[in-house]
Chain A
Amino acid sequence: MEWTVVVGRYSPPGEPQPKGVPGVPYKAPYDKAPPKTYQTFKVDLPEHAMVLDALIAVREYQDESLAVRCACRSAICGSCAMWVNGHARLVCTSKLREHTVGGKVTVEAPPSMPIVRDLVCDMTPFWNKNRAVTPWLENKQPIPQGEEYRVPNAAMEELIQEVSCISCGACLMDCESFAVNQNFVGPAALAKAYRYTADPRDAETQDRLGNYSKPDGVWDCTHCYECVQQCPKGVAPLEQILKLRKMAVDSGFTHNAGTRHADAFAESVRDSGRLNELTLLPKSVGLFNIPAQIQSLPAAFNLLRAGKLPPLIHHAIPHVERIKNIFKKIGGRFK
């Protein structure tokens, strides 16, 4: 049957330019990405065909100059993540049938990454982030002589979720935190960080947790769940990030804005049954961190102007003692 594929084309200046309809500039935070031109192709493929099948058909029989990375065609090599209708997808396992909306499917390089050509983006930011988490085993000593480390199978199974990661980068492409902070270590790299931190054979657990607790690390994730939703292999990077946070706090890495922010949430809910937004910011940046608090004044002023400033006097909800009991029952740092 006939499918319609709209492909975002781009060639750097000085190269032969693809034909197509000029696209509109991207909105913030992607406004630094160069606008593309969009070219419509019709391809004849079976009903169950994938988006990648369509791109290959275009490249083989209609336009040899279409650049697209792919190798295995079966969600193993991780080459072909890109935007499909505005969301990061692995095109080799994205069915045309499921992604055709209003008679067409739109495919393009994600504007969150530097672009090389057409559907090929520059994955350097992704690889650099991976490199930044010390992604290798630092062996616990002594290394057993002539035999394996003895560890329970459950400890290995705990890591297989991350080991299933194929580095396609879909999580980073749609990560909302990365979109506004290019230095955020990002979902895949932090999942990898968990994989080695939680490995019972690794000796650097403490150092790792300290490093990952620094700015741009685990606490910079905003829980938007894009990475969980876009991951084609069920890695669920956010889940691994949350596990790292817990390990870090349990190991005493609490002197950072992330932990203070989480603590301020918990304390406020424990003490009043709801969030005290007025104290959240000072508690997060540190009560005596006057420069950071002054920096936030313009934002506070904007909130005031828009009528969004929280009430100055914070009231507890009725029967707040029941909430306190819940905290007691759960135990841990806030009982």
Chain B
Amino acid sequence: MIVDYDVIVLGAGLAGMRAALEAARNGASVAVLSKVHPVRSHSGAAQGGINAAIGEGDSWEIHALDTIKGSDYLADQDAVEIMCSEAPSDIIELEHMGVIFYRAPDGRLGTRAFGGASKARTYFVGDITGQALLYTLYDQLLKSGVKVYEEWFATSLFMVGGECRGVVALDMMNGDLVLLRAKAVFVASGGMGRVYEPSTNALICTGDGIALAYRAGAPVMDMEMVQYHPTTLKGSGFLMTEAARGEGAYLLNSLGERFMEKYAPNMKELASRDVVSRAEWQEIAAGRGVDGCVLLDLRHLGPDVILKKLPQIHEMALDFLSIDMIQQPVPVRPGMHYIMGGIKTDSDARTPIPGLYAAGEVACVSVHGGNRLGANSLLDTLVFGRRGGKSSAAYVKTVTSLPSDAAGEQFLASEQERVQALMDRPTTGETHAKLRLELGILMDEKVGVYRDEAGLQRALAAVHDLQERYETVAVRDKGRIYNQALTFALELGYMLDCAEATILGALDRKESRGAQSRTDYPQRDDANWLKHILITKRDGQAPAISYLPVTITKWPPQERKY
């Protein structure tokens, strides 16, 4: 079966829904395709808030400088300028759509403090900001009438003559593979957190969109920049929002010291995430940890602030550790949380491949550079989702025809064959679950907060070994309806591609910048490495590395102190 649209959006989180709304407003026929129902998307897990310089005494330039400093000067400053200067109108638009933002006593939008920010400019809804935004956008999507293909799993992009003209996807409800032909495909399928174990990310964050674009020949950029969040719950690894520290929580070591005073005398707990995560790591390594963790202490905030502004993390600590944070500090450790890298795009979400767009965590504009500031990711999804929605709608007007039915059917048949071959493998092969776990532990150990040449080389060899073993992974479910064994096996393939690109980037960047901390190259090296690393894979060839200079507009690189 073949279905036609102007724009197919892959992924229904914030970036995807925002892009779909904007493309539809600009006259394109749009469909959204997602492997889960839109409101199950991982954008909903964002807790703390969304940044914009609206208040008195703040300006988009200060927001931009904070973002650039946070990025360790790897962000492209033209893109950061766009994001920060357009942020206020996007927040106001969200408010008009119905988001129930926290209000100041005068009835205007109120803020909270956040890490790496010199002003309190984070707008929020309790500690469920992502969820509040996700549902509001979903409601708007319902209002717009845009078609959503729920629980459709993308298996490949439809490439014709170097241009992207659609996507093949598995309808999980009946097992059919379908080609959705389109003049443009907008990838907004989120990050690849599950490549790491543990991770704050949902089980669905498997880098599908990154791998699909990478396989189609799109360059991925700054993949080595993997953010470890300083406060993830002991054991399960769930996120304890930075808003806890924004509201005033302390980080303590086993001696009860607020150790961040040593590492970041000015910003303390609210230094940027890479800085705080490394500080925790060092405290734990120096024997001042508590059972492999440090302590997040909220007790002095009092029950009122905790229950009204941080109810969700209060409940999570109760559910998963039986700890009431009103009475007791919570053990936390740095945990994989976000990727700054992704599919390389310009500030209108265009990739170098005609017809292929990307925005959100899946993309790298780059506005986050080496380290993302808290509450800038929701902003990224909305600004570049909107801009990309508009630019893709303009682009499709220039495309006069779609590839022929014959070309479509031929491509679909080859995909059917590929998937069937995977289904037909002997059931004696390895399980996707075992390989996934091995990969995750490997990445956390060797490609985590601290890295070095030897460890990265071992990781690369191990991933190559996993890629070989992947060719024998069996699908033990032979059914057609809701066959998750099949989709998990396909996801593992995506994850291995993402892991390889991450390690290649980390190996290549012989310096420490942002989230990349090389113990063998501990200094930032602007002379040689003030540049982006791009990795491109062409059919049958080994991945190739190339570079792009960082765009500097007004803020020359400086030493980074918090």
Residues in A lying within 8 Å of B, measured CB to CB: 11-12, 15-16, 48, 59-61, 63-65, 67-79, 93, 116-118, 120, 123, 127, 131, 135-137, 139, 143-144, 146-153, 156-157, 159-160, 163-164, 166-167, 196, 199, 201-202
Task: Tell me if A116 and B322 are in contact (CB < 8 A).
Answer: no
- B132 contacts which chain A residues (CB < 8 A)? 163
Task: Tell me if B236 and A156 are in contact (CB < 8 A).
Answer: no
**CA separation between A75 and B100, bound complex, in Å?**
21
Find the B residue at minimum CB distance from A165.
B135
**CA separation between A78 and B44, bound complex, in Å?**
10
- B320 contacts which chain A residues (CB < 8 A)? 48, 74
Interface members, chain B 431-488 (any A CB < 8 Å): 431-433, 475-485
**CA separation between A59 and B477, bound complex, in Å?**
11
Find the A residue at minimum CB distance from B89.
A146
- A136 contacts which chain B residues (CB < 8 A)? 98, 139-140, 142-143
Most buried by B among A79, A148, A157, A166: A148
- B480 contacts which chain A residues (CB < 8 A)? 15
**CA separation between A30 and B37, bound complex, in Å?**
26
- A199 contacts which chain B residues (CB < 8 A)? 98, 100
- B109 contacts which chain A residues (CB < 8 A)? 148
A77-B45 CB under 8 A given contacts A72-B202, A137-B98: yes
**CA separation between A164 and B42, bound complex, in Å?**
15
- A144 contacts which chain B residues (CB < 8 A)? 96
Cβ contacts B339-350/A at 8 Å (1 or 0 each): 000000000000
Of B123-131, B372-380, B516-524, the stretch lying at the interface with chain A is B123-131
**CA separation between A199 and B101, bound complex, in Å?**
12
A153-B479 CB under 8 A given contacts A74-B236, A77-B202, A160-B125: no
A147-B92 CB under 8 A given contacts A15-B481, A60-B431, A166-B131: yes
**CA separation between A69 and B322, bound complex, in Å?**
25
Cβ contacts B85-104/A at 8 Å (1 or 0 each): 00001001001111011111
- B57 contacts which chain A residues (CB < 8 A)? none
- B89 contacts which chain A residues (CB < 8 A)? 146
Q: Give the 7 A-B CB pairs with smallest separation, nearest first.
A: A137-B98, A60-B433, A150-B107, A153-B103, A65-B477, A136-B139, A64-B476
- B264 contacts which chain A residues (CB < 8 A)? none
Task: Tell me if A196 and B98 are in contact (CB < 8 A).
Answer: yes
- A151 contacts which chain B residues (CB < 8 A)? 103, 107
Nearest CB of chain A from residue B350's CB, rounded to whole Å: 29
User: Can you report 10 residue pairs joining A to B where beta carbons are below 8 Å apart?
Assistant: A61-B431, A64-B485, A73-B202, A74-B45, A74-B320, A77-B40, A146-B92, A151-B103, A153-B102, A196-B98
Cβ contacts B33-77/A at 8 Å (1 or 0 each): 000110111101100000000000000000000000000000000
List 16 additional contacts besides A65-B485, A74-B45; criterion CB under 8 Å: A11-B481, A16-B477, A63-B476, A64-B477, A74-B238, A77-B39, A117-B481, A131-B142, A137-B97, A143-B96, A148-B95, A149-B96, A153-B104, A153-B110, A163-B125, A163-B132
**CA separation between A24 and B237, bound complex, in Å?**
41
Q: Does any Cβ of A come within 8 Å of B105's Cβ?
A: yes
Nearest CB of chain A from residue B561's CB, rounded to whole Å: 35
- B40 contacts which chain A residues (CB < 8 A)? 71, 77-79
Residues in B lying within 8 Å of A, measured CB to CB: 36-37, 39-42, 44-45, 89, 92, 95-98, 100-110, 125-126, 128, 131-132, 135, 139-140, 142-143, 173, 202-204, 236, 238, 308, 312, 315-316, 319-320, 322, 431-433, 475-485
Task: Tell me if B44 and A76 are in contact (CB < 8 A).
Answer: yes
**CA separation between A146 and B93, bound complex, in Å?**
9
Nearest CB of chain B from residue A195's CB, rounded to whole Å: 8
Task: Tell me if A156 and B431 are in contact (CB < 8 A).
Answer: no
Nearest CB of chain A from residue B336's CB, rounded to whole Å: 15
Task: Tell me if A64 and B431 are in contact (CB < 8 A).
Answer: yes
Most buried by A among B89, B100, B109, B202: B100
**CA separation between A166 and B135, bound complex, in Å?**
9
**CA separation between A63 and B204, bound complex, in Å?**
20
Task: Tell me if A148 and B433 are in contact (CB < 8 A).
Answer: no
- B481 contacts which chain A residues (CB < 8 A)? 11-12, 15, 116-117
**CA separation between A63 and B431, bound complex, in Å?**
11
- B238 contacts which chain A residues (CB < 8 A)? 73-74
Find the B residue at minimum CB distance from A53.
B236
- B135 contacts which chain A residues (CB < 8 A)? 163
- B173 contacts which chain A residues (CB < 8 A)? 116
**CA separation between A114 and B480, bound complex, in Å?**
18
Find the A residue at minimum CB distance from B313.
A74
Task: Tell me if B100 and A163 are in contact (CB < 8 A).
Answer: yes
Task: Tell me if A117 and B315 are in contact (CB < 8 A).
Answer: no
Choose one: B203, B236, B485; the contact of A70 (CB below 8 Å): B203
**CA separation between A179 and B117, bound complex, in Å?**
52
- A79 contacts which chain B residues (CB < 8 A)? 36, 40
- A11 contacts which chain B residues (CB < 8 A)? 479, 481
- A127 contacts which chain B residues (CB < 8 A)? 37
**CA separation between A16 and B479, bound complex, in Å?**
6
Nearest CB of chain B from residue A136's CB, rounded to whole Å: 4
A16-B100 CB under 8 A given contacts A60-B431, A163-B125, A163-B132: no
**CA separation between A161 and B128, bound complex, in Å?**
11
- A160 contacts which chain B residues (CB < 8 A)? 100, 125-126, 128
- B126 contacts which chain A residues (CB < 8 A)? 160, 164
- A65 contacts which chain B residues (CB < 8 A)? 476-479, 483, 485
- B140 contacts which chain A residues (CB < 8 A)? 136
Most buried by B among A59, A70, A136, A152: A136
**CA separation between A64 and B42, bound complex, in Å?**
24
- A116 contacts which chain B residues (CB < 8 A)? 173, 481-482
- B482 contacts which chain A residues (CB < 8 A)? 67, 116-118, 120
Nearest CB of chain A from residue B423's CB, rounded to whole Å: 12
- B92 contacts which chain A residues (CB < 8 A)? 146-148
- B42 contacts which chain A residues (CB < 8 A)? 71-72, 77
Find the A residue at minimum CB distance from B88.
A146
**CA separation between A70 and B42, bound complex, in Å?**
12
Most buried by B among A69, A72, A150: A72
**CA separation between A131 and B37, bound complex, in Å?**
14
- A75 contacts which chain B residues (CB < 8 A)? 315-316, 319
- A12 contacts which chain B residues (CB < 8 A)? 481
Nearest CB of chain A from residue B40's CB, rounded to whole Å: 5
Find the A residue at minimum CB distance from B480.
A15
Task: Tell me if A71 and B36 are in contact (CB < 8 A).
Answer: yes
- B139 contacts which chain A residues (CB < 8 A)? 135-137
